[in-house]
Structure 1
Amino acid sequence: MAVAGISSLALTLQTRGRERALAAAATLLVGTSFLVTRFGNVPINGQIKVWATTSAPADYAEILHRWDLFNRMRTSTALIAFILLVITAVAPLRGRRESGPASP
Structure 2
Amino acid sequence: MLTALQVFTTVAVGLMVGVEFCVAFVVNRILDALPEDSGQLGRAHGGRMLGALMPFWYIGSLVLVAVWAVADWQQPGAGLVVVAGALLALSVVMSVLLLVPINNRGKTWTPENRPADWKQQMKRWDRFHYVRVALLVAALTLLVTALA
Same fold per superposition (TM over 0.5): yes
Query: Take 2:74 and 2:112, find their aligned partners in 1: how far apart are those partners?
Result: 55
- What are the superposed Cα offsets for residues 48-71 of structure 1, whole Å, 9 maximum, x if unpaired? 133216333232232112101121
1:56 to 114, 117, 127: 114
What is the letter of the counterpart of residue 61 of structure 1?
K
* Corresponding position: 1:70 with 2:128: yes
Task: State the match for 1:81 in structure 2.
Answer: 139
Identical pairs, percent = 24
Q: Which segments of 5 or more consecutive residues in structure 1 lack a partner in the other structure?
A: 91-104
- What are the superposed Cα offsets for residues 57-103 of structure 1, whole Å, 9 maximum, x if unpaired? 2322321121011211221111111110011012xxxxxxxxxxxxx
Query: Take 1:57 and 1:2, find their aligned partners in 2: how far apart are those partners?
Result: 31
1:23 to 53, 78, 81: 81
Length, aligned pairs only: 90
Query: Take 1:8 and 1:67, find their aligned partners in 2: how far apart are those partners?
Result: 26
Query: Take 1:79 and 1:65, find their aligned partners in 2: how far apart are those partners?
Result: 21
Bigger Rg over Cα: 1
Task: State the match for 1:94 in structure 2.
Answer: none
Instruction: Give the TM-score taking structure 1 as reference length.
Output: 0.72
Instruction: Give the TM-score taking structure 2 as reference length.
Output: 0.53
Say what the alpha-carbon RMSD is for the aligned residues.
1.9
Task: State the match for 2:100 in structure 1.
Answer: 42
